[in-house]
Amino acid sequence: MPGPKEATPDQCQRFLRPIINELLRLWKDGVVIVTPKYPQGRLVRVALVAVVCDKPAAHKIGGFGSHSHTNFCTLCWICQDLKSTPEAFKENGFPERTNKRHRELQKEYLKCTTKAARDAFVKQYATRWSELHRLPYFDICEMIVIDPMHNLFLGVVKTHFYHIWVQLNVLRKTKELRSLHAILAKLKLPAHLGRLPSLIGEPAGGSLTADQWRVFATVVAPLIIPQLWAQYIPEESPEELARRRASEIATILKQKKEAAAAARKAKAAEVVEEQLGRGKRLRRPTEKAAAMDIDPDDSNGVDAGALSEDDSGDEYGINPTQSRRRKRPRKPQSTEAEDEARDSNTPVNLHPDDPANSLKLCTAIKTYVRESITEDELVRADKLYREYCLELVELYGPEVIRPNHHYATHTPRNIRNYGPLHEFWTFLFERLNKVLKGYRTPNHAGGELETSFFREFQRTVQQSRLLAQGAREPSGSELRDAVQLMYRATDDDRGTVQGLARNLDLAQEDAGISFQLSPRFEKLTLPPDIYASVLTNLQLRYAAVALHSYLSLAPSPDSRALYPQAFSFDHAVVQNRRYMASFRSISPTSSFVTVRVSDAPSSRFWVGELSAVLVVKQDYIAIGTQTFGYVRWFRPAPIDLSGTVWEAFDPLRVQIWAIDEYLAPGENGPNMLINLQDIVSHVARLDVLIRGRRHWATIPVGTV
């Protein structure tokens, strides 16, 4: 939609009208599509089954009141004053918002003939007209989905760590936050997950993406949070600490609200002065607008869950075609000595129940993001999340609760309607925002900006067509190699459509592959320990084929010697994931794997380091081509999870191992040689301290 200003909810409907007209034709009349199999054509009808977008857009498109409205939810009639009460986190705690009632209210809205009447209607009923009303099959309340990317990752997770722990000084900058950075530096993550900023939570650490918040919640936080809390023991009793901390949080938020109100008044005065200087007609706020005191986190109609660290709203609150506002002057940064002095005079704010509370959130989200989920798992995750929210109020006070916390209670409902979260989250589409922001628009605004976008787009298309021709050349050709070098060497494509396409190609390079070996390999002589394991494995599996070691005499005339020659591959792709062989990689972090070794629940999964991906093929032996993974198994620690915070959260699959120790060949444990298709997922590993002794703690990064 054109700028320079953001369209109002009613203006948005004008742009939706032609789209809805087409959807109605596709639903009623359909379209005939001719294919080679059906030369006469096949009639195809099209239905809109879901609207998935961020909350501000969802409320505009669906004809709901703003997400800062008193009745802010699209699925029930909860109000702002009750969002931190126990009823807000109970199933069916408030009357359901139905499609029938919403459509009735939309018809009533059309009867309002003046702007004042429409505003009064919206204030009372939180409903506007929506063009989606014209689609006879569309359930406006059910089919406008609460996007999990914005709601869970940029909303609930970010609020817990950054807005509560960091901004409200639960993690002191020079104490707990610095310790967290030290622990994070020791965490071993698979390469495909990337790295979280080493200074997470500080301005120098930058703003985390939604995908980084997902990794933080499902992999990083479950390992590091219990360790961080174990380093700082408060002197107060848990009850006293909770009361003091909640009171301090309420005071901080009140001061922030007052400061934001003062800043708005100062800005209004600045605008008035500027208008007077230019000789323009003075625009004064109405009595109602002047009396409004909006929570600073909900200002500008932007979803609090998606604000960036500086609360600028750039995450999605500003249309890329709008002229950007002048940046606010940066607040003066305190010196390290000042930070040290302030934190030394501040008591420990870590409550003993904080880790268990945060792990409830992590466990619920880890369950939600599974590629497949059962009804029982969904019910357990929903229960954990609701308990998390109730405890959040007790631990930090009701002031920390935001609309996103309530929205997330409807996540199971969306999963039941549309399947696992990856089926409908907006990770792919939101990356297009990065594309638009990446266009070079030096000092352009208004209509100039749109023209710049189209020119840049046309140049990108022409360049991509030329490069695509070269990319289609046969593999190994000089032209194709040159195109690949151009892709890798240039920085100009960052943020363009071509750059987005390349990023997605890399991310999806192994998608849809159930099993595949790397194109790179070498022929080698197996080390004695691996050779012995291969020989023993083949002798057990092929008892009818007499095999013996090439170092010994044949026990019978029919026996065949197995020679130590094999092919070693760089990696194997198993169920869309690439597992590196540590023998052939610089870092072993992408070689840590969890493997299904038994059907027994107590020892079903074992963690180790995938050392080699081997193929044994000797034509003179009738065993065909044999593919193995050689694993150095971690040694189980002589302790269990009892007494740790991880004990109550089995879905996280945290396991404890002896540090720097591996099982020896022949020792009691899994076979060193595995079927590569028994690999379940990568794991993350961290050195932890349990009962005064160091161990390895691992957590799977996929579905286990």
Record the pTM: 0.82
With residue 490 as reference, give the H or E element that holds it: none
> Going by DSSP bridges, is the β-strand pair 42-44/31-33 parallel, antiparallel, or unpaired?
antiparallel
Q: Mean pLDDT in the chain?
A: 85
List Cβ neighbours of 63 (8 Å cut-off, separation of 6 or more). 9, 13, 102, 106, 109, 127, 128, 129, 130, 132, 133, 140
Report the first-to-last Cα separation within the chain, whole angstroms.
44
Alpha helices in 497-619 (DSSP H): 497-507, 528-541
Alpha helices in 232-353 (DSSP H): 238-278, 287-291, 336-344
Cβ atoms of residues 695 and 658 within 8 Å:
yes
Q: Which residue has the tokens 């869309």?
A: 576
Cβ atoms of residues 135 and 48 within 8 Å:
yes
Instruction: Say what the pLDDT of residue 278 is.
Output: 63
**How many other C-beta atoms are found inside a 10 Å radius of the C-beta of residue 552?**
9
314: pLDDT strictly greater than 50? no
**How many other C-beta atoms are found inside a 10 Å radius of the C-beta of residue 383?**
14
Instruction: Say what the pLDDT of residue 482 is.
Output: 83
3-state secondary structure at position 145: strand
**How many other C-beta atoms are found inside a 10 Å radius of the C-beta of residue 380?**
15
Q: How confident is the model at residue 309 (pLDDT cuts 50, 70, 90)?
A: very low
183: pLDDT strictly greater than 90? yes
> Going by DSSP bridges, is the β-strand pair 515-517/51-53 parallel, antiparallel, or unpaired?
unpaired
Task: Return d(Cα 415, Cα 394) in angstroms, integer.
Answer: 29
Task: Return d(Cα 449, Cα 697) in angstroms, integer.
Answer: 52
Cβ atoms of residues 493 and 456 within 8 Å:
no
Instruction: Say what the pLDDT of residue 69 is.
Output: 92
For 74-133, what is the HEC assignment?
CCECCCHHHCCCHHHHCCCCCCECCHHHHHHHHHHHHCCCCHHHHHHHHHHHCECCCHHH
Which of 137-151, 313-327, 483-497, 528-542 has the weakest average pLDDT?
Answer: 313-327
Nearest one of 640, 638, 636, 564 to 597, comparing CA atoms: 636
**How many other C-beta atoms are found inside a 10 Å radius of the C-beta of residue 284?**
9
Instruction: Say what the pLDDT of residue 511 is.
Output: 54
Task: Return d(Cα 695, Cα 698) in angstroms, integer.
Answer: 10
**How many other C-beta atoms are found inside a 10 Å radius of the C-beta of residue 315?**
23
Cβ atoms of residues 681 and 702 within 8 Å:
yes
Q: How confident is the model at residue 301 (pLDDT cuts 50, 70, 90)?
A: very low
Alpha helices in 369-426 (DSSP H): 375-396, 403-407, 411-418
Between these two residues, 128 and 666, which has the higher pLDDT value?
A: 128
Give the tens place of pLDDT for each residue, 488-507.
655 444 434 444 444 445 44
Instruction: Say what the pLDDT of residue 488 is.
Output: 61
Percentage of the chain beyond pLDDT 90 is: 58
Between these two residues, 476 and 109, which has the higher pLDDT value?
A: 109
Q: Mean of the pLDDT values across residues 254-271?
A: 89
Dihedral, CA of residue 305, residue 309, residue 312 and residue 315, to nearest 10: -50
411: pLDDT strictly greater than 60? yes
662: pLDDT strictly greater than 90? yes
105: pLDDT strictly greater than 50? yes
Q: Which residue has the tokens 């990696």?
A: 571
Query: Which structure tokens are listed for 505?
Result: 């190609």
Q: If you ran DSSP here, which 8-state letter would residue 569 be given? A: E
Instruction: Say what the pLDDT of residue 491 is.
Output: 41
Instruction: Say what the pLDDT of residue 308 is.
Output: 35
Q: Mean of the pLDDT values across residues 585-590?
A: 91
The rounded Cα 673 to chain-centroid distance in angstroms is 34
Give the tens place of pLDDT for each residue, 533-576.
999 989 888 888 889 899 888 888 889 899 999 999 999 999 88
Q: How confident is the model at residue 601 (pLDDT cuts 50, 70, 90)?
A: low
Q: Mean of the pLDDT values across residues 513-540?
A: 89
Q: If you ran DSSP here, which 8-state letter would residue 8 be given? A: P
Instruction: Say what the pLDDT of residue 275 is.
Output: 72
